[in-house]
Structure formats: C-alpha cells, structure tokens
Amino acid sequence: MQFLTTAALVLLASTTTLAKNILLTNDDGWAATNIRATYYKLKDAGHNVFLVAPVSQRSGYGGKFDIPTSPTLQTNGEFSYPAAGAPSWGHEVDDDHIWYFNGTPASSAVFGLNYVIPRYGDNVTVDIVVSGSNEGLNEGESLFTISGTIGATYNSVFRGYPGVAFSGSNSNNSFFKDNLDLNDPKEPSTIYANKVVEFVNQLFKSQGDNPRALPLGVGLNVNFPPVGYQDESCEDPKWVFTRLSGDFATGADLAYNETSNSFEWVSSELPALKVCNNGDCSLPSENYIVDKTKCQSSVSVFSVDFDANLGLTSQTKDLLAPLF
Ligand SMILES: *[C@@H]1O[C@H](CO)[C@@H](O)[C@H](O)[C@H]1NC(C)=O
Ligand SMILES: *[C@@H]1O[C@H](CO)[C@@H](O)[C@H](O)[C@H]1NC(C)=O
Ligand SMILES: *[C@@H]1O[C@H](CO)[C@@H](O)[C@H](O)[C@H]1NC(C)=O
C-alpha cells in the first residue's frame, strides 16, 4: 500500500508539473486538420489548451492585424464551418476551449490572450503560444515576414510570451472532419502533432521552476519534412538546429510573361537572404535541412529585436554622420 501511494504521488507530481497553459493558433483556420490534431495531442499530454484561430484561411497575412467589422460573418468560414450569418467569434458547441475569430492570425492570437482566456479560461497565465502546424513550409526570412503562422508567433513574442511556429510539408488545406485521424501512425498531421508535444514538453522540462520557457523576445521557427503517407521512410524526424538565413534561401519574386501579358509568383534565391550578420553562422539554413536532406526538422531561434548589430549600426552611422 505504501508503495502504491508513493507511486501515485510521484505520478501526480510529474503530471502536475508538466500541465501548462497553452494558446494554440494557426493561419489555415480553426477547422484545419493540423491544428485540431495538435490540440488533441497537447490535451492528451495533460495541458490546458486553448485553440483560438481565424475562421478563414489566412495564409500569407504575415503580422496583419484585422479585427471583425461586424457582429456576424459576411462570408462563409473555411469549409463553411461556420457559414455566413454566424457570430464573428465563437466556440465549438461541445468544447469551449476551441474558438474561431473573424480576424488574421496575429489578431486571433491576441483575441485569445485578451478576451478568451480572461473571460472563459479563468484568466490563467499562458506559458507558451504554439502556432501550427501550418499546412505548408515556412522556411527562411522571406517566409518569416509573409507567413501568418509566424505572424501570430512574433505578435505573441512581442507581448512577452514564448512562441513557437511549426510548419509541415503536408500542404493540402484539409478539413478536420475529412482527415483527422489521431490513431493513424502514418497520417502527417498526427505525426506532426506528436512531435509538437515532444518539443514543447522538452521546453517545459528544461524550464523547471523558471518563470519563462524561453528568454524574453525570443521565439522559434520549426519546419517538418514530409512524413508518413508523404514519405513512408520517415515517421519520426530528427531535430536539427538551423538558421533562418543561409544557402538555398529563397524569397517571393515576380516574373512577367510576355505571351499572356501577366505576372506570375515565383520563388528566387535572393542575395541578402543568405547573409549572416547575427547568430551562429556555422548553422545550416532551414532550406538546406528541410529541402536537401531527408527526415530532419529545422529549428531556428529568432529574436524580435530587429535592430542591426553593433558593427553594422556603426558603419551606417558613419555614412550619415554629417547629417547629425
Ligand atoms: C487577468 O489577469 C491580469 C493580469 O494578472 C489582470 O490585469 C486582469 O485584470 C485580469 N482580468 C480579469 C478579467 O480578471
Ligand atoms: C485534402 O483536403 C480535402 C478537404 O478536407 C479532403 O477532402 C481530401 O481528402 C484531402 N486530400 C488528401 C490527400 O488528404
Ligand atoms: C506564359 O503564358 C503562356 C500563355 O498562358 C503559357 O502557355 C506559358 O507556359 C507561360 N510561360 C511561362 C514561362 O510560364
């Protein structure tokens, strides 16, 4: 009996220390398969999770900060879930921890932090903001600025929360009612969700009694390679530290087509996306690890202090010195 009691206490203590408050968001919308898989896996791991995300597909909105302009939806939400005419924000009928908002990823995360949690979540302190996993990769600085997944993350980091953006190679924009299968070990959304749990649990474990899981102003950008049905040889990708800039980094570009007299969106290697001015220049780029190797996930550390470093600032100050 004594043994059982002790074992029960140890179990209780270990689950209690790991139970954290997590705000989960994305840019593909609250009804996307990837975010629902992440929600259930984080919850199964014992966390208090609030899923708060845009009602519509808002990929490519970066840090744009839209707020609802009417009390009801003027157009259908993604997958008509819900349809036009529904309130501009609300939650699942059977789960008041799953919310949508007629906004962008950044404003949806802040709606979660400023409205949902104070009013419906016992005003708990959020330990981490997780964004994703996105349906599609977000590699390099160019996508850092374009991606709504990352936009929601840096807007959370601005507010002092540790934030991690996760992006997957499964780019099909799928509805959870069609594709969610938490027990299918080859379903990419399920594999990614399990990897998100492994990752944030390690951050919490390392956090121990410290008040923060990451330093103030710091966030992480993670990209997952193809897994499961997309690459049957990869079911448990390895973590690799990377940097946002570096070899093979590409950015959005414009190509003019004479024949059709129209423009096309193309991806080009751009010189300044490869330069290393800050951080660990010996690390490989995200693009290298995810695009050129197999079964490895890139993990980049970013800071929202976008100021140039001291050397670059001094050089630039010299150029303008006569004006000052
Ligand atoms: C929630 O907590 C914050 C910070 O602890 C506090 O400033 C705020 O007034 C609280 N809000 C509510 C609705 O209790
Ligand atoms: C892609 O998403 C649609 C919408 O949810 C779904 O019907 C379809 O099965 C998905 N395709 C794959 C290959 O997962
Ligand atoms: C340019 O447009 C034409 C006509 O639509 C198309 O057939 C062609 O493939 C396009 N060229 C390129 C390089 O995309």
Asked, for residue 258, whether it belongs to a domain, the answer is no
What are the DSSP calls for 223-290, one per residue?
EPPP-BTTBTT-SSPEEEEEBSSSTT-EEEEEEEETTTTEEEEEEEE-GGGT---SS-TTSPBHHHHH
Best residue among 21, 117, 123 to mutate for probing ligand 1, ranked by most atoms within 8 Å of CB? 123
CATH number at residue 51: 3.40.1210.10
Best residue among 28, 179, 227 to mutate for probing ligand 2, ranked by most atoms within 8 Å of CB? 179
- Alpha-carbon distances of 60 from 6, 52, 158, 241, 265, rounded to whole Å: 51, 18, 19, 25, 13
Ligand nearest the Cα atom of residue 261 = 3
257 lines ligand 3 (CB under 6 A): yes
Ligand nearest the Cα atom of residue 186 = 2
Cα(156) to centroid(ligand 2), Å: 30
Provide block-wise average pLDDT over 10 residues at a time, the chain (324 residues): 47 61 98 98 98 98 98 98 98 98 98 98 98 98 97 98 98 96 98 98 97 98 98 98 97 97 96 96 98 98 97 98 98
Asked, for residue 10, whether it belongs to a domain, the answer is no
Q: Which of 48, 231, 29, 219 is CA-nearest to residue 123?
A: 48
Residue 61 tokens, joined: 């909105």
Asked, for residue 9, whether it belongs to a domain, the answer is no
From 133, 167, 169, 189, the catalytic residue? 167
Cα(267) to centroid(ligand 3), Å: 16
Asked, for residue 144, whether it belongs to a domain, the answer is yes
Give the angle subtended at the CA of 227 by the CAs of 25 and 192, to the nearest 5°. Answer: 25
Other CB atoms within a 10 A radius of the CB of residue 117 amount to 20
Counting the structural domains of the chain, the total is 1
Please enumerate in sequence order all residues whose Cβ is within 8 A of that of 22, keeping only pairs 6 or more positions apart, or say none: 42, 47, 48, 49, 50, 126, 127, 128, 129, 130, 200
Asked, for residue 70, whether it belongs to a domain, the answer is yes
Distance between CA 80 and CA 76 in Å, rounded? 5
At 206, is the secondary structure helix, strand, or coil? Answer: helix
Distance between CA 54 and CA 130 in Å, rounded? 14
pTM score, two decimals?
0.93
303 is catalytic: no
Distance between CA 301 and CA 111 in Å, rounded? 25
Asked, for residue 153, whether it belongs to a domain, the answer is yes
Asked, for residue 37, whether it belongs to a domain, the answer is yes
pLDDT of residue 235: 97
Q: Looking up tokens 């990419």, which residue turns up? A: 188
pLDDT of residue 18: 78
Distance between CA 304 and CA 157 in Å, rounded? 7
Please enumerate in sequence order all residues whose Cβ is within 8 A of that of 150, keeping only pairs 6 or more positions apart, or say none: 62, 131, 138, 143, 144, 165, 221
Which residues' Cβ are closer than 6 Å to ligand 1?
Answer: 118, 123
pLDDT of residue 2: 44
Cα(173) to centroid(ligand 2), Å: 7
At 24, is the secondary structure helix, strand, or coil? Answer: strand
pLDDT of residue 283: 98
Distance between CA 139 and CA 150 in Å, rounded? 10
Asked, for residue 90, whether it belongs to a domain, the answer is yes
Other CB atoms within a 10 A radius of the CB of residue 185 amount to 11
User: Is there a contact between 29 and 54 (Cβ–Cβ < 8 Å)?
Assistant: yes
pLDDT of residue 13: 46
Question: Where on the phi/psi map is residue 125: left (φ > 0), alpha (ψ -120 to 50), or beta?
Answer: beta
State which residues form the domain around 36.
18-244+281-323
